[in-house]
Amino acid sequence: MRSWRGWSWDDGNFGGSGLEPQLDALQAEAKRLGYFFAQADTAATMPPVLAERLAWATEYRRKCYLYPNCPESWERQTTDSMSDGYAQEHCRSMLAALAALGIRLQEGPQACALLAAEECRQREKASLPPEPSPLSEVEVSSFVDEFFTKLDAPKEGVPT
């Protein structure tokens, strides 16, 4: 995977390219799920939920880095990158570059339990109904006006 100026993931040169935040995100997400990076001859197996979460974390961080003034679009853009496979390919490239340097993903003692919890969280998230959209300023003001109008209206059949 070559990019401009002849730089390649295979070069193992991550400095000054904006990749440090993505590597931090990769390491933080791996740690959250009970994994860590170390110099090793072999890598841990990569369950699908781990691969998805690592790809999401690195791509989200990439969007934050590329578009610092547009935080409202980070989630949507990351979802788009996940759906077209770019985020997964990008993450695989990062892992391959690290492996070329002898740094591989290793499984910690609590990885199995943490991955199972993440799978449950993902299933629960998928089954929840979407959050209702917040009321607009116009809707809130019309609701308040209607409330006070009804409050001030004369009451029929109420003895005074």
User: Is residue 70 a part of any domain in this protein?
Assistant: yes
User: Is residue 148 a part of any domain in this protein?
Assistant: no
Domain region containing 62:
11-129
User: Is residue 6 a part of any domain in this protein?
Assistant: no
pLDDT recorded at residue 160: 57
- The partner residues of 125 in beta bridges, in order of sequence, read none
User: Is residue 151 a part of any domain in this protein?
Assistant: no
Question: Which secondary-structure segment (H or E) carries 129?
Answer: none
pLDDT recorded at residue 148: 79
Domains of the chain: total: 1
User: Is residue 152 a part of any domain in this protein?
Assistant: no
Q: Is 137 exposed, middle or buried (0-12, 13-18, 19+ CB in 10 A)?
A: exposed
pLDDT recorded at residue 157: 62
Can you give the pLDDT of all 160 residues of the chain as single tens digits?
A: 333 344 444 444 454 456 788 889 999 999 999 999 999 999 999 999 999 999 999 999 999 988 889 899 999 999 999 999 999 999 999 999 999 999 999 999 999 999 999 999 988 888 877 777 776 666 777 777 887 787 777 766 656 5
pLDDT recorded at residue 133: 72
Cβ(28)–Cβ(57) under 8 Å?
Answer: yes
Name every residue whose Cβ is closer than 8 Å to that of residue 113 and which is 6 or more positions away in sequence.
34
pLDDT recorded at residue 144: 78
User: Is residue 57 a part of any domain in this protein?
Assistant: yes
pLDDT recorded at residue 11: 46
User: Is residue 155 a part of any domain in this protein?
Assistant: no
Cβ(30)–Cβ(54) under 8 Å?
Answer: yes
